[in-house]
Structure 1
Amino acid sequence: MSKHDSAGAAEAVDSLPAETPPVPERLMSGLRQAHAEASAALDLRDPVEAVHDLRKGFKRLRALLRLAALAPDRAVAHTARGLRRALAKTARQLAQARDTAAREDALDDLVAKAGLSGGARRAAARALGPAPGAGQGEGVGRHRAGLESQLTQFAEVLPRLGAAVDDKALVDALADEYARARRTGRAVDAEDEESLHELRKAVIAQRYQMELVSPLWPALGQVWVDELQRLRDKLGKHHDLAVLRALVEARPPRAGRPPLWRTELLDAIRARQAKLARSSLRLHARLFAEKPKAFRRRLSAYMSAVSERK
């Protein structure tokens, strides 16, 4: 991570007022958990595992920062948007260490679900894998100092972000994010990888956001989060296959007939992506059948019921 990125995060933090009201519990708890998850990843020795956990923590933070970005306080909203952009940029810089594992997972999925032969899978892995000795990336490596600085800055500002979103504002923000994910899914073209990728990002955010309120009705809330995770997994597999196909097509065969594994692999990718897209959109339609206003009323009722029992 560059000094410019750290400076950008620091500038966002400094834009908030020094005094804030008492911190509401729900968003603050989620922000602390996500920050702790990202911070713990820096201590992991395995570079791929470290990057995976760090990116996961960042995704959770970015999802919750989307809620803070809808806070009534404009300074808080502005800061949350700036921090979310900084996290997204840092996550992109750390993506390389995950590439090999994602490619292997995609090939395994094709063998299990699309009938790709073991021979084609092994040939593809050899042809598409990193050069001998290239490894799987340096993990956080040279980004460590910048990451530690960025996470320290976030720790300082997170209480002020959480303080700006009380239960009423949280319900409003969750309903707005639900409506966004609903619209995104309804506009998806099943054959358009980019629109499916945008839906995946909206579902990831919704999955982490709904964890904040799942304790209001644990039995129902956990089912909702689990189903969002299932949808996320389907869309994630679709995306990994899109990356795999792009990698294959970026390496055109040499003169003559293409190797048999290449044709078999591309056919399997197309078939598997089509099935994943169809099942993803069916699941999305069920999860997001409720209209946003009804969703907001339901969350408000859950929140009121819990508050009345205190």
Structure 2
Amino acid sequence: MAFRLRPDRPFTAEFRSVAENQLKKAIGFLENQPDGPHEAIHDARKKFKRVRALYRLIEPDAKDFRRAENARLRDMAKTLSAVRDATALIETVDYLTTEAGSEEEQAALASASNALTKRRDRIAAEEHDLPAKMAAAADTCRAAIAALDGLELDDHHRRTAKRLGKVWEKQRRKAIAALSQCHDNTHAEAFHDLRKCGQVYWMHLSLLRDAWPSAMAAKQRETKLLVDRLGHEHDLSVLTEIINESPDIFGSSETLALVIGAIITRQQALRHEALDLAEKVFADSAERESDVIALLWLEASRLSGKVHAEKPSDKHIQGQEIALRGVS
């Protein structure tokens, strides 16, 4: 089953089905580990993020459920982070190597990659309880699936459309606030917040794409570019923290200076690119775009024969195209 909510189905049942599907996929990764335990953890954590984004969509009508289940998945994911996060640092240095400006910088980054690989291997060797953690995480996923049975929502299409519009507006306002913070300061946390907003936005576009496939796909492409840039930016911020905490593992001061220089150069470029992309992705007002989302969901439901309301005119919808640009 794709990661999407179909407007022609009862919302609660569809919501449960999507969440259960993602959680079962996570269990499959954790238990079968087709590409090894660390890649399995990486894949499972991506499913957890998707489910947590899905849960945001029902917060207005299920605050307690969303709070409890979000915490369940968040806390469980943290128990699996050590080795995967250490591996991500190696990938970050390898990414920097593709952007290296000189042979000296390439050599310094190769040395840093080697040092971080040894660090990752030490962490992995010390994590003797990883199999138990993965088994516990799979059990937590099963508990999360069971909890879905207790979820009850108003499936009336107008109530659903209103709920989705409300959540959409809240998330868009958070994104606009995060973007403003990025313009006001250069703190890594501001860009991390913008990245999280971008990730949620991308996942919500995926979930609701059946309401207007062409427009949603266009917005997803733009948002994916933004999230990728901010993902690399965040990885560089984490790498900087490791360097500040443990500079000795990187060898000579000359090597360290070259690595830091490469980080600063690439991070500045990524931030500039990300801000330009974010201005485009989040150009429209939160209120206007949320109104469009609610209208689109209701219209998609009507076309499925589930709602017998008067069809909004094509002129009405076309007048809102700016909120979901990319439609021909």
Same fold (TM over 0.5): yes
- Write out aligned runs for 1:95-174 (5 A): 95-115=81-101, 117-131=105-119, 134=122, 136=124, 140-161=130-151, 163=153, 166-174=160-168
In 2, Cα distance between equivalents of 1:204 and 1:298? 20
Are positions 1:252 and 2:247 aligned together?
yes
1:202 is paired with a residue of what secondary structure? Answer: helix
Identity of counterpart residues, as a percentage? 25
Q: 1:298 to 1:133 in 2, by over 3 A?
A: closer
Letter aligned with residue 82 of structure 1: A
What does residue 69 of structure 1 align with? 59
Q: 1:242 to 1:268 in 2, by over 3 A?
A: same
In 2, Cα distance between equivalents of 1:132 and 1:103? 9
- Write out aligned runs for 1:227-238 (5 A): 227-238=222-233
Are 2:87 and 2:117, in contact at CA under 8 Å, matched by a contact in 1? no
1:115 is paired with a residue of what secondary structure? Answer: coil
Deviations 1:102-143 (A, max 9, x none): 122211221222426331122112233335963746695221
Q: 1:109 to 1:62 in 2, by over 3 A?
A: same
What does residue 7 of structure 2 align with? none
Deviation at 1:91, TM superposition (A): 1.4
Deviations 1:65-96 (A, max 9, x none): 2222222xxxx311211211221122122111
In 1, Cα distance between equivalents of 2:214 and 2:146? 34
Unaligned runs of at least 5 residues, structure 2: 1-9, 305-328
In 2, Cα distance between equivalents of 1:285 and 1:160? 40
In 1, Cα distance between equivalents of 2:67 and 2:243? 36
Name whichever of 193-202 and 156-165 sits farther off.
Answer: 156-165
In 2, Cα distance between equivalents of 1:65 and 1:112? 37
What does residue 3 of structure 2 align with? none
Letter aligned with residue 90 of structure 2: E
In 2, Cα distance between equivalents of 1:274 and 1:297? 36
Are positions 1:89 and 2:75 aligned together?
yes
What does residue 18 of structure 1 align with? none
TM-score of the superposed pair, with normalisation by structure 1:
0.82
Task: Give the paired residue count.
Answer: 283
What does residue 218 of structure 1 align with? 213
Letter aligned with residue 240 of structure 1: D
- Write out aligned runs for 1:40-59 (5 A): 40-42=28-30, 43-45=32-34, 46-59=36-49
Q: 1:120 to 1:34 in 2, by over 3 A?
A: same
In 1, Cα distance between equivalents of 2:66 and 2:294? 24
In 2, Cα distance between equivalents of 1:309 and 1:262? 61
1:24 is paired with a residue of what secondary structure? Answer: helix
Unaligned runs of at least 5 residues, structure 1: 1-21
Letter aligned with residue 211 of structure 1: S
2:246 is paired with a residue of what secondary structure? Answer: coil
Are positions 1:28 and 2:23 aligned together?
no
What does residue 170 of structure 2 align with? 176
C-alpha root-mean-square deviation of aligned residues, in Å?
A: 2.5
Deviation at 1:98, TM superposition (A): 1.2
